[in-house]
Every structure is written in structure tokens, then in C-alpha cells.
């Protein structure tokens, strides 16, 4: 089994951004953009990890601190595909082009995801986070990007300024973005920026509205909380 960590970083979110995956000091890769989001970085790290290991038959354990990424790949994506890559409310799925590329890379692969808490000293997660942030800082400073050795015999990765395509370049920030507190404003529903980590939101529903929410969540194969989170 290959154990790898994948992480993203965005300075300002959106802003200079980076991605990285890490197995050990001889097998890691990183890259980024002049302007993107944390979620794009998180998703791209997973995509590039699968691409780099596509020539291998080993099971891949992906350690990730983004529940948005894990839920997107392991829970929500099948339903999105059935609905033509739209959410339960009919709105287009964010970052759809990257998700479609990940979906294609998963075919025939043996893999599983493991959630790890970020910024608590987890060695693999810290290694990936440091490299993703270093890429983002390189773009902010106009310095060479530390792209890493990649995977010997694997697909070449592009660590340079590959601009995100489609809605990935202007995606709304999900509430589980993992960023440094001193780089995030204190607003909740700003369309460009959002707070660090999860926020508590109280929603008052009538009995009829609650029943309708439960029915739609069941139809989508989600809990009412997950369904409501997707709407937000």
C-alpha cells in the first residue's frame, strides 16, 4: 500500500495558491497558480497524486485534511454524475472540471481516503502542507516554484503557473477550507472569502420545510445536514 498525503494552500483565498502531495522526501510534487482557491489546491493535489501513481498497481491510501475533498470524491460525486454534474438544488457543481478529471483517474484504481486533522503535527499532512504553502508563497513572491522530484517512472507534473480552467478559477469557497487564521477575514458568506474551519449556522424551518428537506436529502442519498450544507 502507498500512503500519501495531499494538501492545498491559498494565501488570502483566493490568492496565490499551491498544491502538494507527499509520500517521502524522495517522492513528492507541488505546484500552483498566481490566483486560485484552497479547494482548487486540495482537489488538484489529489488529482496529481493519482496521475503520478497511475502506472502502479498498489492500493493508494490518501490522507487528506479536507472533508470537502473526501466527501466530494467518496460520497457526492456519484449523485452529481447522475444529475449531469449538478447539485440537488439544480445548481452546477463547483470545481466540476477538476472533479471530472479525478473521476476519470479513479477508474480501475484501488484507493481509499483517510481524514486527518490539519495543523496538529501529523507528519505526512505537515509535509504536504509545507510544500503546498511554499508553492503558494513562491507565486506570491515571483520566485521559482519548488516542484519536487515527482514519482520515479510516473507521469510528469507541471509545477508552473497552470491557470485553473472553467469555474475552478472563480469557485465559491467551501466552509471546510483549511487555511491560516491570520490570512482569513471574519466574514461568513462573502462570495470570495470565507472563515477558517467550520462555522455554526442555525436555520429555522417550518414543519413542512423540514419534511421537504428530509425528502430531498433521502432522494440524494445524503443526510439532511449534508444536503443542507451542499445548498449553502
**Mean pLDDT, all residues of the chain:** 82
Tell me which residues are annotated as active site: 7-8, 42, 65, 119, 129
- Per-residue confidence (pLDDT) for residue 184, from 0 to 100: 36
| Residues near 41 by beta carbon (within 8 Å), at least 6 away in sequence | 7, 8, 9, 10, 17, 18, 19, 32, 132, 136
> pTM of the entire structure?
0.71
- Per-residue confidence (pLDDT) for residue 158, from 0 to 100: 55
Q: pLDDT tens digits for 197-207?
A: 455 567 777 77
- Per-residue confidence (pLDDT) for residue 127, from 0 to 100: 98
In 12-66, which residue ranges form alpha helices assigned H by DSSP?
38-52
- Per-residue confidence (pLDDT) for residue 194, from 0 to 100: 36
- Per-residue confidence (pLDDT) for residue 186, from 0 to 100: 31
Q: pLDDT tens digits for 63-74?
A: 999 999 999 999
Q: Mind listing the domains of the chain with CATH numbers?
A: 2-171 (3.30.420.10)
| Residues near 104 by beta carbon (within 8 Å), at least 6 away in sequence | none
The pLDDT confidence band at residue 227, using thresholds 50, 70 and 90, is low
Amino acid at each position: 500500500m502507498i500512503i500519501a498525503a495531499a494538501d492545498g494552500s491559498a494565501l488570502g483565498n483566493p490568492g496565490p495558491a499551491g498544491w502538494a502531495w507527499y509520500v517521502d522526501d524522495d517522492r513528492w510534487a507541488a505546484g500552483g497558480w498566481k490566483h486560485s482557491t484552497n479547494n482548487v489546491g486540495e482537489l488538484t493535489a489529489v488529482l496529481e497524486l493519482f496521475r503520478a501513481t497511475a502506472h502502479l498497481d498498489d492500493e493508494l491510501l490518501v490522507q487528506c485534511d479536507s472533508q470537502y475533498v473526501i466527501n466530494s470524491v467518496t460520497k457526492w460525486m456519484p449523485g452529481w454524475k447522475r444529475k449531469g454534474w449538478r447539485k440537488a438544488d439544480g445548481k452546477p457543481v463547483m470545481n466540476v472540471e477538476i472533479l471530472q478529471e479525478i473521476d476519470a483517474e479513479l477508474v480501475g484504481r484501488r484507493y481509499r481516503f483517510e481524514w486527518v486533522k490539519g495543523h496538529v503535527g501529523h507528519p505526512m499532512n505537515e509535509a504536504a502542507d509545507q510544500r503546498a504553502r511554499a508553492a503558494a508563497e513562491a507565486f506570491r513572491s515571483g520566485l521559482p516554484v519548488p516542484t519536487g522530484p515527482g514519482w520515479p517512472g510516473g507521469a510528469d507534473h507541471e509545477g508552473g503557473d497552470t491557470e485553473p480552467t472553467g469555474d475552478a478559477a472563480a469557485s465559491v469557497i467551501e466552509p471546510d477550507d483549511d487555511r491560516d487564521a491570520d490570512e482569513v477575514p471574519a466574514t461568513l458568506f462573502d462570495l470570495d472569502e470565507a472563515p477558517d474551519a467550520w462555522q455554526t449556522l442555525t436555520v429555522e424551518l417550518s414543519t413542512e420545510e423540514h419534511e421537504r428537506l428530509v425528502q430531498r436529502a433521502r432522494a440524494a442519498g445524503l443526510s439532511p445536514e449534508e444536503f443542507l450544507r451542499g445548498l449553502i
